[in-house]
Each structure stands twice: as C-alpha cells, then as structure tokens.
Amino acid sequence: MGHNLLINYYELVAVLLFGIGFTTLFLNRNLVKKIIGVNIADGGIFLFLASKGFIHDRAPPIIVDGVQDAAAYINPIPTTLILTGIVISVSVTAFSLALMVSLYKRYSTLDLDEILARTAEEEAD
C-alpha cells in the first residue's frame, strides 16, 4: 500500500487539500476563513483533475511532425475543465469577498453567528 501512495502522491496531496479546505469551511465561523477553505478545496479538486488527465510519455494535443495518432497525445478535456473551473472559482471568490465587505460595513463583524443573530433582531423589529 505504501508503494501505491508514493506513486500516486499527487492524488494524495489533492485529497489532503480538499479535506483541509472542507474542514476549514465547516469548522470556522469567520467568513474570511470560510472563503479561504473553499479556495483550498478548489485547489485540491483542480490538482486531482490535473493528475488524472496527465499521461506520462504523451505530448500536449498539438500536432507536431505530422503525428496524428490520438494515442500520442493527452486528452485536452480535463485541462479545459480545470481552466474553466479556475475562472469560475476566481469569480465566485471575488463575488464572495464583495458580499463579505458589504456585510462587514452593515454589521461590523465577520462572525457568522453574530450576523445571523443581528439579522434575526432586525426581522423581529
């Protein structure tokens, strides 16, 4: 089993990153830490997809020297999905940070429990 972990260390690191991000997301009440946790989990997912899409001894899917055999190249779809996911992740992070700034301006805190308590008080009034 130890030999397989050394061979697949990219997958192991990806799972560890996802686990760290997931636990950070659910165990912290601070919104900044939650956003950081989501980004760490995203990085783990992207690393996992990249490690699964890469095949040793194959070239990027750019035809060179007239080689047109599909077996000579890696699959470009995982790379495309990773790039799309990174763009979406950056957009979601920017939107989350903008919402977090407006929440801080309104409630003067980033603690989720305090924000929920203050919104409940506002609704009761």
Measured distance CA(125)–CA(120) in Å, rounded: 9
Predicted local distance difference test score (pLDDT) of residue 14: 94
Cα–chain center distance at 100: 19
The CATH number for 101's domain is: 1.10.287.3510
Q: Is 56 helix (H, G, I), strand (E, B) or coil?
A: coil
The whole-number pLDDT of residue 88 equals 97
pTM here? Answer: 0.84
Reference 20, options 9, 33, 10, 31; nearest CA is 33
Residues 6+ apart with CB under 8 A from 17: 40, 41, 43, 44, 47
Q: What's residue 112's pLDDT?
A: 93
End-to-end CA distance of the chain: 61
The total of structural domains in the chain comes to 1
- HSE on the CB side for 11, CA within 13 Å? 8
- Listed as ranges, residues in the chain with pLDDT below 50 are none
Q: Which domain holds residue 95?
A: 2-124
The pLDDT of residue 2: 67
Give residues with Cβ within 8 angstroms of 123, minimum separation 6.
none
